Amino acid sequence: MELDVLGLSRFQFASTSIFHFFFVSLTVGLAFLIAVMETFAYVRKDRARLYGNMTNFFGHLFLINFAVGVVTGIVQEFQFGMNWSEYSRFVGNIFGVPLALEVLMAFFLESTFIALWWFGKDRLPPWARLGSIWLVAIGTQISAFWIVLANAWMHHPVGYRVVGEQAFLTSFPAVVFNYKAWLYFAHVQGSAWTVAAFFVLGISAYHLLRRQNVDVFSRSLRIGLVFAATGTVFSISSGHREAQVARYDQPMKFAAMEAQWQTSESPAPWSAIASINMAERRNDFSVEIPYLGSLLAYNSLHGNYQGIIPLQQQYERTLGPGNYIPPVPWVYWNFRIMVGIGTLLLLAAYGGLFLWWRQREALNGTRWYLRVLLLLIPLPWVANFCGWITTEMGRQPFMVYGLLTVQEGVSANTTAEVLVGLIGLWVVYLALIGLDIYLLTVTARAGIHDKPEAQILAAPAPSYTGEGFQGYERRD
Amino acid sequence: MDLVALWFWLIALTFTLYFFLEGFDFGVDILRPFLAKNEAEERALVGTIGPFWDGNEVWVIAAAGVMFSTFPVWYGALFSGMYSVFVIILLALLLRGVSFEYRNQVDQPRWRNFWDWMSFLGSIIPAFFWGVTMAKLIEGLPINADERVLSGFLQLFTPFSVVGGLATLLLFMLHGANFLLLRLHKDTGLYERARAAALFWGALATVAILAFVVMGYVVEGLFTTFGVLPWVFPILAALTLGSIWYGLSTKRDVLAFLMSSLTIVFSTVTIFIALYTRQVVLPSTLDPAFSLGLRASASQPYTLVLMTWVGGIFLPLIVGYQIWNYYVFRERVRPDEGGLNKGYD
């Protein structure tokens, strides 16, 4: 990367997106889990306080994280104009619409009803309180949908026509029903559920290992398992399909994911480890598994795919001279780490379901399994970052695939101001991530206790006496 | 009125709502160190805006999002042209946004004190720089023939934009004090101090607004393109001051708040009228011919029609549930009850 406006702006965009997604993936998933927990409190009136405590506990963690997700979202939105004004001018007609929809349909909903839910616990009737957390949960999903749809449009532009220096929207339905968007949405959604599920699983396991509040945490463990099982299957199956469609709508990305320099033969092998030599455009060595490449790309034992070098020649013919090869090692390795972690998480989730199916007590008492869950907490995040790097780096040098390169989209800023802004953002973001992790950890470890005065200094939590859930109980 | 004009005015509306709403929560945060004498009062003051600030802030995200989709050229030029100022605003808003949540997470005075500073700085900085931004919107940015904006950080500060920033900041402080009069329990020392603050900062705010209006008239020819008499606005400002004095001395809190709200509405709308009458969304300081025209900067009709449907459905809905939010938390806050939230602190 070069230290010019373009290089710095790219780095700025990547940092903002990855930092933002650190917080948001947890928010999007956890909102749903908490809404489910509170629904249990509402429905199981005899256990209202138990589920109420669960909701309060995880709700407290949710709020710590939510605030940062909201504020980093503003940066995410503003940077299109600030760093990529030429891009904004080119596609604002189209790209701005899902962004505006995200704000109008989701941001207002989330920010207003989160306040009603948390602060309004002694002011609202139970149904309105429960409704508020569901609106927050739905809001986060709507928000994820529109931003992912906007991102998918950059990967696979549809429903537009280029006139002069601008791309004009010709069909909004085409943009909404972009198959790429729905695949991305399923994938991002599944990943967010996975992040939140393993977060809840790890924390529940921590307290079960210490035999604290077993009645609450054995239940949150089971709720978490259901979400983990659903989330991992969603993200793996949609991710598999995503890679398959990339083979024909972003062939260069697909080739980079497989480090395939020449067009493969049929049946194609799959490379598990490769030493990639970018300068000479070849792999120094590659450990290959026969047939697996075709199987993954086509769900069949036949079929080949194009290599990077023929694709480069093809792009030069159609789009003019230039380097259309993305940074292959980044795409290749991040893809493999993501897939590896995804498989591990799937096994962990279904292993848990198996223990649960055998016997309920087996789940609470299998200490090695609970320890594994504790260690797995950070892994879904790592997989997420690797996934974003794979898909975004694989799109290089294009900003809008096949239409606009990043070079053409950047603002006319000076290097100094972009650099200073970038440093400022990094300092603040690193501080926020550090604080977020610190506060989540101490709050999660403090656990649930009935007496507020017994709480540790760093995490003065709500008093967990079913606070705010009195109204949910059965009135005899 | 055609769709381009409609969306221009809807952008004006979202900015106006943003300054009106977030204006008072900025103001409360800026006044907090001056008003609170102990932790209970500190919490009471946070409690007055606790359930509202987040929803208020979304209006600026809405303004930017709507601008992006309906006036992409304007959005790109303004946001890249004001790059350094927006970076500062964003960093300040980042720290402010987490301060409310984080200040009560660790039970130590030093920790709370740190976050109180963050929320003070996180309010005073955007309050000033949004004023600068609005002033630059009239004054213009160095736009070249390619419609690219080439401006450095220091170029963004002119006497006019600095006075604009100060006027906005002081006005928000007055507005915040007036909001507190509606939100605090009346028989508390805090309430009386908020009233004194409203009088003091209100007087300074009026001076700053008058200075801004006069400079706008003399330097920028702000009102000369209006069909309205140029001195209507100074008169309105003077009336505002008078009515706030009257409202405060006769304990008509609603009147005082209404007047500071109207001042914000008039000031913001004035800026957009100035642009609209010239049919320009962002003037160029290099050559008037390079200014971004209203119509040339807008999206094509398909997008505008689509956005009109979206806005027509969702804007009233948002206003509706936000009003409900204010209604649910209408109760005045007492410092001795630990602020707004009894179960959580």
With CB atoms and an 8 Å threshold, state whether B105 touches A64.
Answer: yes
Lowest mean pLDDT, pick from A124-128, A162-166, A340-344: A162-166
Task: Note whether A261 and A240 are same-domain residues.
Answer: no
Listed in sequence order, the DSSP H helices in A120-213 are 126-155, 172-176, 179-209
Lowest mean pLDDT, pick from A62-66, A267-271, A329-333: A267-271
Task: Note whether A76 and A113 are same-domain residues.
Answer: yes
Residue that is last in its domain, among A320, A345, A373: A320
Which residue has tokens 């300074």? B204
A413–chain B Cβ distance below 8 A for any pair: yes
ipTM, 2 decimals?
Answer: 0.89
Chain A residues with CB-CB distance to B64 below 8 A: 77-78, 81
Cβ pair B143, B77 in contact under 8 A: yes
A472–chain B Cβ distance below 8 A for any pair: no
Residue that is last in its domain, among A271, A301, A320: A320
One-letter amino acid of B249: S
Determine the Cα angle at A100 with ends A97 and A101, to 5°.
85
Please state, in angstroms and rounded to a whole number, the distance separating the CA atoms of residues A346 and A351.
8
Average pLDDT over residues A187-209: 94
Task: Note whether A305 and A400 are same-domain residues.
Answer: no
Question: Which residues, at least 6 apart from A205, have a Cβ–Cβ distance to it below 8 Å?
Answer: A221, A369, A370, A371, A373, A374
What backbone torsions phi and psi does residue A66 show, to the nearest 5 degrees? -60, -45
Task: Note whether A167 and A307 are same-domain residues.
Answer: no
Among candidates B50, B65, B148 on the partner chain, residue whose Cβ is nearest the Cβ of A119: B50
Taking the CA of residue A213 and the nearest CA in chain B, the distance in Å comes to 21
Residue that is last in its domain, among A302, A320, A338: A320
Question: Which residues, at least 6 apart from B122, have a Cβ–Cβ distance to it below 8 Å?
Answer: B29, B92, B93, B94, B95, B96, B97, B99
Structure confidence by residue, pLDDT tens digits, A337-354? 999 999 999 999 999 988
Confidence of residue A469 (pLDDT cuts 50, 70, 90): confident
Among candidates B100, B153, B311 on the partner chain, residue whose Cβ is nearest the Cβ of A417: B153
The helix/strand/coil state of A162 is strand
- CA Rg, chain A, in Å? 24
Give the N- to C-terminal CA distance of chain A in Å, as an integer: 69
- Both structure tokens of A33: 């889990």
Task: Note whether A290 and A387 are same-domain residues.
Answer: no
Among candidates B66, B76, B314 on the partner chain, residue whose Cβ is nearest the Cβ of A88: B76
98-157 in chain A: CB under 8 A from chain B? 99-105, 107-109, 111-116, 118-124
Cβ pair B325, B50 in contact under 8 A: no
Task: Note whether A50 and A186 are same-domain residues.
Answer: yes
Is pLDDT at A68 greater than 90 in this prediction?
no
Determine the Cα angle at A65 with ends A63 and A70, to 5°.
90
Please state, in angstroms and rounded to a whole number, the distance separating the CA atoms of residues B233 and B49.
30
Lowest mean pLDDT, pick from A199-213, A301-315, A454-468: A454-468
Task: Note whether A139 and A281 are same-domain residues.
Answer: no
Confidence of residue A427 (pLDDT cuts 50, 70, 90): very high
B42–chain A Cβ distance below 8 A for any pair: no
Which pLDDT score is estimated for B270?
82
Structure confidence by residue, pLDDT tens digits, A359-403? 777 788 888 899 999 999 999 999 999 999 888 888 888 888 888
**Chain centre distance of CA A220:** 22
How many domains is chain A partitioned into structurally? 2
Q: Which residue of B has its CA nearest to A57?
A: B344
The parts of chain B modelled with pLDDT lower than 70 are 1, 220-235, 237, 337-345
Among candidates B80, B91, B98 on the partner chain, residue whose Cβ is nearest the Cβ of A411: B80
Task: Note whether A183 and A307 are same-domain residues.
Answer: no
Which pLDDT score is estimated for B344?
35
Task: Note whether A93 and A177 are same-domain residues.
Answer: yes
The helix/strand/coil state of A359 is coil
Structure confidence by residue, pLDDT tens digits, B293-304? 888 888 888 888
One-letter amino acid of A443: T
Task: Note whether A155 and A236 are same-domain residues.
Answer: yes
Nearest CA among B330, B335, B331 for reference residue B43 = B335
Whole-Å CA distances, A409 to A90, A92, A404, B70, B76: 8, 12, 7, 19, 11
Among candidates B64, B107, B303 on the partner chain, residue whose Cβ is nearest the Cβ of A457: B107
Task: Note whether A10 and A96 are same-domain residues.
Answer: yes
Please state, in angstroms and rounded to a whole number, the distance separating the CA atoms of residues B55 and B323.
11
Which pLDDT score is estimated for B315?
92
Q: What is the pTM of this model?
A: 0.91
What backbone torsions phi and psi does residue A288 show, to the nearest 5 degrees? -120, 145
Whole-Å CA distances, A432 to A364, A374, A436, B106, B154: 34, 23, 6, 15, 29
Average pLDDT over residues A158-177: 88
Which pLDDT score is estimated for B231?
58
Task: Note whether A281 and A217 are same-domain residues.
Answer: no
With CB atoms and an 8 Å threshold, state whether B70 touches A459.
Answer: no
Parent domain of A110: 5-250+327-474
Chain A residues with CB-CB distance to B58 below 8 A: 103, 107-108, 111
Interface test with B, best of A82, A163, A441 (most B CBs within 10 A): A82
With CB atoms and an 8 Å threshold, state whether A81 touches B95.
Answer: no
Instruction: Tell me whether residue A423 is exposed, middle or buried, using C-beta atoms within 10 angstroms of its C-beta: 0 to 12, 13 to 18, 19 or more.
Output: exposed
Cα torsion B324, B254, B332, B339: sign: positive
